[in-house]
Amino acid sequence: MSIEQREARQPWILLTPALTAVGLLLIVPLMFIVVYSFWLKSAAGADTSGLFLDNWKEALTDRFYRDILLNTLKISAITTLACAVLGYPAAYFIARSRGNKLILLVLLMLPFWISYIIRTMSWINILGISGALNSALVWLGLISEPVQMLYNETTVILGLVHFLLPFMVLNIYVSLDGIDTNLEDAALSLGATRWQGFLQVTLPLSMPGLAAGGLLCFVLSAGTYITPVILGGPRDAMFANLVYEAIIKQLNWPLGSALSLLLLVVLGVLVLIYNRYLGMAQLAKGLG
């Protein structure tokens, strides 16, 4: 074997462990889900193998699933917008800070060191009937008795924003940190105000980071089921909750597989649209 041939094979040899792990942990289970989605659960509870379209027909035509899917997309969109509005000023402050940038980044990463479930359940101690907020409002005399603040769509969005905000800040920060501050100074020297310089120079250059953070927040919020279970009510279920109900509680693997693939296709289309116009490179920077 020549030196050129060995050098050409070297990247594939290095990638073999990672590709093997991806194949065994992602591709193979996904293929099982595809096959299961065409099986049929009989009235007796047994799964019948074959090529049945009943699960797909139910998932695509049942108004219940369609409404839950639309509600999931709506909650994800609101969550993404809230993360962008709250995350951009924080990312801008970190990117333009001098001397304490490392400390601010460590503080931003701190929530990742605490379990997601614990962070979500902490809202019960804050917004519950006997929580900190109700106790404070009663003590201040603003309300006569505790009010129910939990188990609605607002608390679900609040929990999702709490979970996803660091992802948005990190992506925007990476984009802002790569912008030469001399460009803003040049805009000011040409007569632009600071607000005009931000709108016409900084914001357009940071849009890839904003878009990457938006994609991450949207996809992660659309696929979560823990937050709606802990903080949401019966009417605030998201699509991932339907998959959980079908597979874990009803043991209807064929229907659960079809529902999970439907959500995967919807989110996959959004990712393809993002990749078509913005590319995945900025997303990789944010994750790194």
Backbone dihedral region for residue 50 (phi beyond 0: left; psi -120 to 50: alpha; all else: beta): left
Q: What is the pLDDT of residues 109-149, one digit of tens each?
A: 888 888 889 999 999 999 999 999 999 999 999 999 999 99
Mean pLDDT of 268-277: 86
Read off the pLDDT band of 4 (50, 70, 90). confident
pLDDT of res. 156: 95
Cα 181 to Cα 139: distance, rounded to the nearest angstrom: 48
Smallest Cα–Cα separation from 69: which of 259, 279, 274?
Answer: 259
Q: Find the helix or strand (DSSP H, E) in which 41 lies.
A: strand 40-41
Q: State the Cα angle at 165 between 163 and 169, rounded to 5°.
A: 145
Question: SS3 of 184, please?
Answer: helix
Residues across the chain: 288
Average pLDDT, the chain: 89
Read off the pLDDT band of 8 (50, 70, 90). confident
Mean pLDDT of 197-204: 90
Read off the pLDDT band of 285 (50, 70, 90). low
Cα 136 to Cα 41: distance, rounded to the nearest angstrom: 52
Q: Would you state the torsion angle of the CA atoms of residues 57, 63, 66, 70, taken in this order, to the nearest 10 degrees?
A: 170
Cα 199 to Cα 1: distance, rounded to the nearest angstrom: 58
Work out the percent of the chain whose per-residue pLDDT is above 70. Answer: 96
Cα 40 to Cα 36: distance, rounded to the nearest angstrom: 8
Q: What is the DSSP letter of 59?
A: H
Read off the pLDDT band of 185 (50, 70, 90). confident
- pTM of the full structure: 0.87
Tokens of 67: 């409404």
Mean pLDDT of 219-236: 89
The CA radius of gyration of the chain, in Å to the nearest whole number, is 24
Longest dimension (CA), the chain: 84
pLDDT of res. 236: 82
Residue 9 has pLDDT above 70, yes or no: yes
pLDDT of res. 222: 94
Residue 88: count other Cβ atoms within 10 Å of its Cβ: 20
pLDDT of res. 49: 87
User: 81 or 5, which is more confident?
Assistant: 81
Cβ atoms of residues 231 and 155 within 8 Å:
yes
Residue 287 has pLDDT above 70, yes or no: no
DSSP string, 89-124: HHHHHHHH--S-HHHHHHHHHGGGGS-HHHHHHHHH
Residue 126: count other Cβ atoms within 10 Å of its Cβ: 15
Q: What is the pLDDT of residues 245-269, one digit of tens each?
A: 999 988 899 999 999 999 999 999 9
Smallest Cα–Cα separation from 228: which of 218, 220, 216, 237?
Answer: 237
Top-confidence range, 80-89, 173-182, 212-221: 80-89
Residue 219 has pLDDT above 80, yes or no: yes
Read off the pLDDT band of 44 (50, 70, 90). confident
Cα 158 to Cα 46: distance, rounded to the nearest angstrom: 41
Q: What is the pLDDT of residues 69-119, one digit of tens each?
A: 999 999 999 999 999 999 999 999 999 888 788 899 999 888 888 888 999
Residue 34: count other Cβ atoms within 10 Å of its Cβ: 12
